[in-house]
Amino acid sequence: MNSENLNNKGRAFTISNPESLSNPAPYAYSHLGVVPAGQKLIFVAGQGGSGAGTDDFREQCQSAITNVDKVMKAAGGGMKDIVKFTIYIVEHTEEKHKILIDELHKKFGDLYTPTCSLIPVPRLSYYKSLIEIEAIATLKE
């Protein structure tokens, strides 16, 4: 496993990238998250960005990330405890992808980003939502 430039401090799990795969860091995700036995799992329902009251994708992205952070704090953790994101983007484009990457880098800073799946969709359940983020996290028991 390539642990070069990885910052896992303060986590109850390990994030890494196999050397045989491309480096996903510029795209704000990682390939592998390993959770040791005995950890408490947290499942965060999809958090949308429509609560931002705008049709601006960046603002909705920021709102969705903030909402995930609020749920994680309610569970007794934080963004650093997220192992995996599943992100749904309405009418996905490269521009939206760049905005998402930028906002995730802002939120995680030098902490290595979680594993992630990004799924383009034609629409979400709430018609004004442009993005929805769900998460799986872990905390020490």
Q: For residue 139, what are the CA distances in angstroms to 1, 7, 29, 37, 64?
A: 23, 17, 20, 11, 21
Q: For residue 35, what are the CA distances in angstroms to 38, 42, 45, 71, 111?
A: 9, 12, 20, 20, 17
Q: pLDDT (tens digit, 9 = 90+) per residue, 60-100?
A: 999 999 999 999 999 999 999 999 999 999 999 999 999 99
Tell me the domain boundaries of the chain: 14-140
Domain 14-140 sits in which CATH superfamily?
RutC-like (3.30.1330.40)
The amino acid occupying position 54 is T
Residue 113 — very low, low, confident or very high, per pLDDT cuts 50/70/90? confident
Q: For residue 98, what are the CA distances in angstroms to 28, 30, 76, 104?
A: 10, 16, 30, 10
Residue 3 — very low, low, confident or very high, per pLDDT cuts 50/70/90? very low
